[in-house]
Structure 1
Amino acid sequence: MTSLRRVFAGFVICLFAIMAAQNVTAQSNDNGPDAVQKIELENAQNRISEWDGALDDLEQTITRDEVTNRFINDGRDELEAIHLGIVTLRDRAEERLKRFKTALGKLGDPPAEGQEEVPAVARERERIGQDIARVTGVIKQLELVDFRATELSDQLAGLARERFTRRILGRVDVPLDPGVWLTAWSEIVRLPSMVQARYANLEVDGQAADELAEIAPGLVLMTVIVIAALIGGEVIVLRYMPGGWKTVPQEDRVALISGTRFLFTAMVPGIALLIAYGILDSRQALLKGAMGDFIHQCFAAALFLLFVGAAIRSVHSPFSPALRRAGTTPRGARIVGISSLVVAVIFAWDMVLLQGATTLGTSLEIALVQSISNVLVISVLLFISSLGAFWVHDEKDRHEFWPKLERRSRRVLKAVAILMPVLMVLGYVALARFILENLMMGLAFLTCYWLLRGYFRALMHTYLVRPEPSEDSKTTDAVHGTLYFWLRVLIDVVMVTIAVPVAVMIFTDIAWTDLILAVQQAFVGIQVGGIHFSLRSILLAALMFVIVLGLMRFFQRMLSTRVLPNTKLDQGLQHSVSAIFGYAGICLAVLLAISAAGMDLSNLAIIAGAISVGIGFGMQSIVNNFVSGLILLVERPIKVGDWIVVGADQGLVKDIRVRATEIETFDRSSIVIPNSELISNRVLNWTLKERSGRGIIRIGVSYGADVDKVREILLEMADKRREILSYPAPQVIFMDFGASSLDFELRYFLRDIGDVIAVASSIRFELVQRFRDEGIEIPFPQRDLNLRDIDKLTDAIRDAGKGAVRSKPVPAPSVPDETPTSDDEIEHGADQKAAPSSSAKDISRDRDASGRDIPDAGGDPDGDAPR
């Protein structure tokens, strides 16, 4: 008993210990979120205080009118960072507020006046209310800071636009003032001494030296990668790549070579150059002051020259014109390519010199003279590049899209090349330079986009759409064309989605923050009634539709090429099963896409009702054909490969689609018949149940022929044909005693009714030769014509030809008598005798004329008189 009590006491102590531990854990869990929330609120308050201080400093600087261009740029960058931080913090606060409101809703409505609530519930309600009040206060503070930041951003943007407009539209008299040119030239001569005096004793020490020593290996590595990519890319592309794509079509081959060349000589070294700049930018002591701006401009010029130079070499290929992608002549490829490369070098050099002059503190005159000289040289080179003598003029492609775009672009380029020197002469140097900068950036951007687009299309067309041909491939050209079209659409959508934001950032003054907010708003979407529309849901729905449809088409192809051919089903039933599987896949893909888009599938009843109204008004024929197509696939009165006759049209069924059925006639033309006509009208199907069918050859022989011999020959002709079945056996039928022949029919059954015309033609060829050898005549209809009173008729015709005037009627000759030799001629004899011959009509007319004393028309009595 003592041992049992000890065991029981120990068990009770353990139980109390577990319960106490659970209480402590629950208290710690209850206090944990409060502590975390308190820390987050304190951090939010600290960040709001920092942002308020930064905004106060910006306001003070703006009010003192000490705003420089550098301050405007730095201030806008700082405001963008503040705005992004506010958006992030506000999203977190709104998410927490939503969670608190959900928890408060679970507690139910507060008690009415005079009622009491459970103390624990009341305390929880009070705590959640305090949390909601604190988070709401943080959100309101963030909105106030965001409002101040937006106001300051608008002020800085207004100042930037004002200064930009004043700078661009400013006019100087430099081009017409010789003194400015002399001053600038003397200062250009002193530039080497100025650089030597300023940077001869330059030493990097202290923190800058330490940081430079730390990043020196990385910079050297990036420099080696840039040089290796430039040299190795040219060698690989021009020496090894063309041989690997010999079997690729010429257009894809050139696109692949130029795109690979651009990737090796622009993308790879460009990424290495950006990494090197990022390494420098991460060290604050290295990129500061005027020297930092100069290094930044050098990197920008190098990156521009890298991309534009690679694009020009890939598009024009001046040193290997056979690989050019532009529509230039071989001579034009060299001239236009080299001119474009010189333009890119001058423009990049101008960027570096302009920033270098600002860093050295040179006068404004040298910068203006430099801008004028460079712009004039670039204008001349652009004008030369746009001349039509260096471009191919193909009349066949004159009205196509790309040739038309190329001609119009050259016209615009020629106009700009003429406009910039005119602006220079008038003194609008800044405006001309602004046009040149945007023109160069625009051409570089569009060229890179065009190169990458063609490269990805060629890759897809070479390795995805048209793989190496194989003899057992059952994929038709139509399938390849459809796949190629949708893959091209996908490439265009992806590239446009990436290129548009990049172009907005390059060519507009829209802040990065505003662009991110616009994208977020597009992805978040809007609420219209009970349906939520957003770009995210639309893209997800499209992606779901494409994936599901692709999987279903893959399984459909496997079903039609691997599974069904190994079954005992006939070809038509295999096609029906495959088509029904494809329609089911489309329906499934649509339903899943609608569900992924956020639409409630229960609303489909409303949509179906609306569609039914549309069907009642204007879609009856479409739905009729659709339902008829389903009936054709289920009942299978016709199948793919059947020989059918519909009205006056006949041919082989090639495809049974949802709306219509395609029939290929024996002339190799296609007839598209709506499915409703195949259901509602009579259709003759020669091969519905089986391929065998009967053929008939009709032939007639003369009355003197040996009929037994004829029967023997006909059966012999049928027995030696392998296409003709032995059972049922061929038959020779004596049909009738014809007007000119004895009529027979050779009747036989063929293994394949599709051979009926060829077999009948072959038998007829042999019958003709065999009947000739056996002396059997194949007669043709004969007719005997008997004429009475032929002498009187001859005299009447002679007198009528002389045109003599008769004083008394001349008896008309007898009408020719036709003795028919067949029953049809006997039946129509009365009609033939009632119609007088042409000679009898002439005699009757002369007799009437002589009776009325009509004078002769004159002329030679022995000649033909006009009547």
Structure 2
Amino acid sequence: MQVLRFLLLATSLFIAAPAVLTYSVMPVAAQDVQAPDYTAWEKQAKTAEQTLADDRASNKALEQLRADLVEWRAKFTAAQGINAAPIETLKNQIAALGPAPTEDAPDAPEIAKRRAELNDQLAKLQAPGLAAVEAHSRAEGLIRQIDARIRARQATELLRLSPSPANPANWPAGWAVLQQGIKTLSAETTEAWSNPTRRAELKDNLPAIVFYLLVAAVLVLRGPGFMERMTTRLLTGVSMRARNIAAAVVSLGQVIVPILGTIFLVLAIKASGMTGIRSGALIDALPGAAYAFFFARWIASWLFRVDGSYAPLSERASEARFHTNLIGLVSALEIFRTAFITEVRPPLSMAAQAVWAAPLVCVVAVLLFRLGVLLRPRPSEGVSGAKEFRNKIMRLIGTATVAVSVVAPLLAVVGYVAAANALIWPAVGSLGLIGLILLLQRFATDSYVLVFHKGEDGREALAPVLISFVLTLLALPLFALIWGARTAELSETWTRFSEGVTIGDTQISPAAILALIVIFILGYAVTRLAQSALRSTILPRTELEKGVQNAIVSGVGYVGIFLAAIVAITGAGIDLSSLAIVAGALSVGIGFGLQNIVSNFVSGIILLIERPISEGDMIEVNGQFGTVRGISVRSTWIETFDRTDVIVPNADLVSGVVTNLTRTNLTGRLIIPVGVAYGTDTRKVQSILMEIAEAQPLVMVDPAPSVHFVAFGADSLNFEIRAILSDVNFKLDVQTEILHQINERFIAEGIEIPFAQRDLWIRNPEDLTGRKRAQPKPQPAQEPVRDHDGDDLSGVHNDPDAEGDDA
């Protein structure tokens, strides 16, 4: 039943958390706060101090005393806000009188008198709050002393050395306890049967007893198997998308149904009236033992499935499931053992306690050892990402399980039975809680995939990871309870966490952070709504350019986010003035580290205001030529003609040289060079080129295109067509069409388009006939091959000492 209690406690903490946060956020009205009874508090405090000094109170009594002190501390916390509003008013009045007087600058008599009166009133109003602060500090100290005392006692109990259960001399003590227990149970049954009143009660309740027993038999003997078959049928025989979720919900019956059966069995036995003190303790332990066994059986049926659909362990799943079932059975026996020795009078000797506890510790340690080995996944190559992380966690859990299973029985055999129990059984509970977390994570992932219509890839999305993180975070208090943490300690931790930390005069608490986040989200949502309204409804109906509209929308977004942040900080009660020094120091460091980002941010604002470029402009910057597709706060996105994206920092656009081809209009000049052969009629060529240029629809009439005879080239007579296009975006298309028409007209008119030519002159051609000679003889130096201009084209240099080749 421990895990069930832990889950219920976690749920209550989760439900109560928002209420606590809301309570801490809401101010307490002065008239709602009553001054504590300091006389009664003084009496309570002296009693606590005397109890701690005597050190004779039990842990239960100390816990009750601590609960009383916590109530007093809560009263003192509330009393610290008494007269808060009048105190604030008086402080403002005193501040309005000017700075405090000094020897060099004393107050005027009237101001000095008024300042003294206000200070007296302020001292009287602050007195109840100061008294509450002092009492709160005293209560806080007493609570810490009680916690330290209880922890010291727990440590002493864990380190207590009992007689070794491995020593046969201690076995008779344990055997005596068993004999005495059986005799006590027999005596209680005989005494109850010999009592006529109880026999009459049994006779009167016999129909109800028979009914309870029948229901219990059906639920315990037939219920788990029936629910397991239904779960398997849903997983294998149903094709609906929600089959995993439906199967998980139905499978809970494997735990709930048998526990209900044990509850009916308990009702039947209690209705008989034949139970005593010790037998009643065993009967009351039945539901807890049933929960331990059937919960372990349910966890094993899901985590260690043969098909591996829910668990990281698919190999040796049957063996792991078998050991988990046995661990649940041994845990149930441990619950019965604890109930059997609880009502023993007088209490058991240390030898008897050791003999009774050690066997179950050793048995469950053997089972845990094997389970830990099975949980360690085998190393596999090519595994990365989430699967690799999961394998690391599984190896860590398996290693820890093996270590606990080795250390605990050794401690028990030596005699540290309390330490062994405090180690082995929390380890079992932790494994059960880890299994439950894994199932809840899978259930949440299945629900996410179903609700948002995601495929199997949706299981690797961010939302399931965040859900898993939140579930793990919520489980931390349960792990703490399993390992012996007291509820009071967890409550104290939550109280300190709720109070937050103090920086200067500012109190930063989780409630303030939550309020800040909520207010900022609301402000951000309002900002986005306003941007959407401007972008889609208001600005399109104006005559503003598209770039101006985008600038206005972006500006509204920046201003809205800034205002949302200011309102959120103010609404959370965070005083920025007390953080001014820290913020100033941080701003210097941030300024040096983020100067490039800040420069780009300011440049982006300048671009949005001055608008030297806009979306759709064709620009050239840093050797990159393309069309502006977007302007953000930090950078500008340019799409080049080869469809690649270039991200240019805004600082380069503001401080560098930018060529904007389409800023004011889309017109642009096109220049096409054309060459013809020497001897061609140049007037005719100019006329043909002019006709072709004027025939293009995108060539503007005003200014009209022109054709110029520009140079006598080395191989051709060079002309240029110069024209202004109405849309420079079609520059390449117009150029292509003009070149096509030039080629067609020149062919029709017999005009030659020349290309570079060279004439080669070879001296001594007889040396290149390839005739063989008996002996090589010296050859005359080879002259280089030259063109008309005398340039060397052969790359051969005269060398009188070199020998000639055949070719």
Q: TM-score range by the shorter chain?
A: 0.5 to 0.7
Aligned twin of 1:378:
367
SS in 2 for 1:328: coil
- Alpha-carbon distance in structure 1 between the residues aligned to 2:382 and 2:770: 76
Per-residue CA deviation, residues 202-244 of structure 1 (Å, 9 max, x unaligned), is: 8998xx99xx9xxx9xx99x99999999977995897389978
Per-residue CA deviation, residues 444-480 of structure 1 (Å, 9 max, x unaligned), is: 333444554565566567757x889xxxxxxxx9xx9
1:504 to 459, 463, 480: 480
- The question of 1:239 aligning with 2:208 is answered no
Relative to structure 1, the CA distance from residue 236 to residue 345 in structure 2 (aligned partners, 3 Å threshold; closer, same or farther) is same
- Alpha-carbon distance in structure 1 between the residues aligned to 2:584 and 2:373: 65
Which segment drifts farther, 495-504 or 621-630? 495-504
- The question of 1:355 aligning with 2:356 is answered no
- Alpha-carbon distance in structure 1 between the residues aligned to 2:366 and 2:477: 33
- Alpha-carbon distance in structure 1 between the residues aligned to 2:449 and 2:529: 19
Aligned twin of 1:438:
426
- Alpha-carbon distance in structure 2 between the residues aligned to 1:610 and 1:716: 70
Any residues of structure 2 matched to 1:644-655 within 5 Å, and which?
644-655=619-630
- The question of 1:162 aligning with 2:156 is answered yes
Native 8 Å contact 1:733 1:746 kept in 2 = yes
TM-score by length of 2: 0.68
Q: Give 1:172's aligned amino acid.
A: S
2:327 to 319, 322, 343: 343
SS in 2 for 1:644: strand
SS in 2 for 1:547: helix
Per-residue CA deviation, residues 831-859 of structure 1 (Å, 9 max, x unaligned), is: x35x9952622x34469xxxxxxxxxxxx
- Alpha-carbon distance in structure 2 between the residues aligned to 1:775 and 1:106: 101
Native 8 Å contact 1:383 1:418 kept in 2 = no
Aligned twin of 1:404:
392
SS in 2 for 1:444: helix
Per-residue CA deviation, residues 616-656 of structure 1 (Å, 9 max, x unaligned), is: 86655443322211101111222234332112222333442
Alpha-carbon shift at residue 794 of structure 1 (Å): 5.4
Alpha-carbon shift at residue 679 of structure 1 (Å): 0.9
- Alpha-carbon distance in structure 1 between the residues aligned to 2:665 and 2:229: 66
Aligned twin of 1:367:
356
Native 8 Å contact 1:651 1:663 kept in 2 = yes
- Alpha-carbon distance in structure 2 between the residues aligned to 1:189 and 1:769: 121
- The question of 1:677 aligning with 2:652 is answered yes
Native 8 Å contact 1:625 1:676 kept in 2 = yes
Aligned twin of 2:522:
547
SS in 1 for 2:798: helix
Q: Give 1:677's aligned amino acid.
A: D
Aligned twin of 2:567:
592
- Alpha-carbon distance in structure 1 between the residues aligned to 2:681 and 2:286: 110
Q: Give 1:343's aligned amino acid.
A: I
Aligned twin of 1:733:
707
Aligned twin of 2:607:
632
Any residues of structure 2 matched to 1:232-271 within 5 Å, and which?
235=230, 239=234, 246=241, 257=244, 261=248, 265=252
- Alpha-carbon distance in structure 2 between the residues aligned to 1:604 and 1:380: 55
- The question of 1:75 aligning with 2:61 is answered yes
Q: Give 1:265's aligned amino acid.
A: L
Per-residue CA deviation, residues 400-422 of structure 1 (Å, 9 max, x unaligned), is: 43333333433343444455555
Native 8 Å contact 1:266 1:310 kept in 2 = no
- Alpha-carbon distance in structure 2 between the residues aligned to 1:630 and 1:689: 21
Relative to structure 1, the CA distance from residue 225 to residue 698 in structure 2 (aligned partners, 3 Å threshold; closer, same or farther) is farther
Q: Give 2:312's aligned amino acid.
A: G
Alpha-carbon shift at residue 678 of structure 1 (Å): 0.7
- Alpha-carbon distance in structure 2 between the residues aligned to 1:130 and 1:711: 104
Native 8 Å contact 1:615 1:623 kept in 2 = no
- Alpha-carbon distance in structure 2 between the residues aligned to 1:199 and 1:814: 134
Per-residue CA deviation, residues 556-593 of structure 1 (Å, 9 max, x unaligned), is: 45655676667766554444333223222321232123
SS in 2 for 1:91: helix
Q: Give 2:604's aligned amino acid.
A: G
- Alpha-carbon distance in structure 1 between the residues aligned to 2:576 and 2:278: 63
Q: Could you say which structure has the larger radius of gyration? A: 1
- Alpha-carbon distance in structure 1 between the residues aligned to 2:613 and 2:312: 53
Relative to structure 1, the CA distance from residue 295 to residue 75 in structure 2 (aligned partners, 3 Å threshold; closer, same or farther) is farther
- Alpha-carbon distance in structure 1 between the residues aligned to 2:519 and 2:764: 97
- Alpha-carbon distance in structure 1 between the residues aligned to 2:168 and 2:63: 40
- Alpha-carbon distance in structure 2 between the residues aligned to 1:761 and 1:454: 62
Which segment drifts farther, 353-362 or 407-416? 353-362
Q: Give 1:643's aligned amino acid.
A: M
Relative to structure 1, the CA distance from residue 561 to residue 702 in structure 2 (aligned partners, 3 Å threshold; closer, same or farther) is farther
- Alpha-carbon distance in structure 1 between the residues aligned to 2:718 and 2:360: 104
Relative to structure 1, the CA distance from residue 649 to residue 794 in structure 2 (aligned partners, 3 Å threshold; closer, same or farther) is same
Native 8 Å contact 1:48 1:142 kept in 2 = no
Alpha-carbon shift at residue 527 of structure 1 (Å): 4.3
Identity %: 24
Aligned twin of 1:840:
798
Q: Give 1:371's aligned amino acid.
A: L
Aligned length: 723
Native 8 Å contact 1:83 1:513 kept in 2 = no
- Alpha-carbon distance in structure 1 between the residues aligned to 2:743 and 2:171: 108
Q: Give 2:371's aligned amino acid.
A: L
Q: Provide the aligned C-alpha RMSD in A.
A: 6.3
Native 8 Å contact 1:382 1:417 kept in 2 = no
SS in 2 for 1:786: coil
Relative to structure 1, the CA distance from residue 421 to residue 151 in structure 2 (aligned partners, 3 Å threshold; closer, same or farther) is closer
Native 8 Å contact 2:674 2:718 kept in 1 = yes
Aligned twin of 1:818:
787
SS in 1 for 2:383: coil
TM-score by length of 1: 0.64
Native 8 Å contact 2:368 2:401 kept in 1 = no
Per-residue CA deviation, residues 793-847 of structure 1 (Å, 9 max, x unaligned), is: 6599999x9664x7xxx8646554422xxxxxx4xx3xx35x9952622x34469
- Alpha-carbon distance in structure 2 between the residues aligned to 1:714 and 1:189: 125
Relative to structure 1, the CA distance from residue 89 to residue 263 in structure 2 (aligned partners, 3 Å threshold; closer, same or farther) is farther
Aligned twin of 2:383:
395
Per-residue CA deviation, residues 662-713 of structure 1 (Å, 9 max, x unaligned), is: 3344455443322221112111223334456555555545568899699779
1:524 to 496, 499, 523: 499
Per-residue CA deviation, residues 387-408 of structure 1 (Å, 9 max, x unaligned), is: 546x876534599433333334
Native 8 Å contact 1:642 1:686 kept in 2 = yes
- Alpha-carbon distance in structure 2 between the residues aligned to 1:749 and 1:267: 85
Q: Give 2:392's aligned amino acid.
A: K
Aligned twin of 1:15:
none
Aligned twin of 1:14:
none
- Alpha-carbon distance in structure 1 between the residues aligned to 2:616 and 2:600: 21
Q: Give 2:707's aligned amino acid.
A: I
Native 8 Å contact 2:358 2:413 kept in 1 = no
SS in 1 for 2:157: helix
Q: Give 1:504's aligned amino acid.
A: A
Which segment drifts farther, 356-365 or 498-507? 356-365
2:164 to 172, 196, 207: 172
Q: Give 1:840's aligned amino acid.
A: N
Aligned twin of 1:328:
313
Which segment drifts farther, 659-668 or 420-429? 420-429
Q: Tell me, which stretches of 5 or more residues in structure 1 are unaligned? A: 1-32, 109-121, 247-252, 469-476, 820-825, 848-861
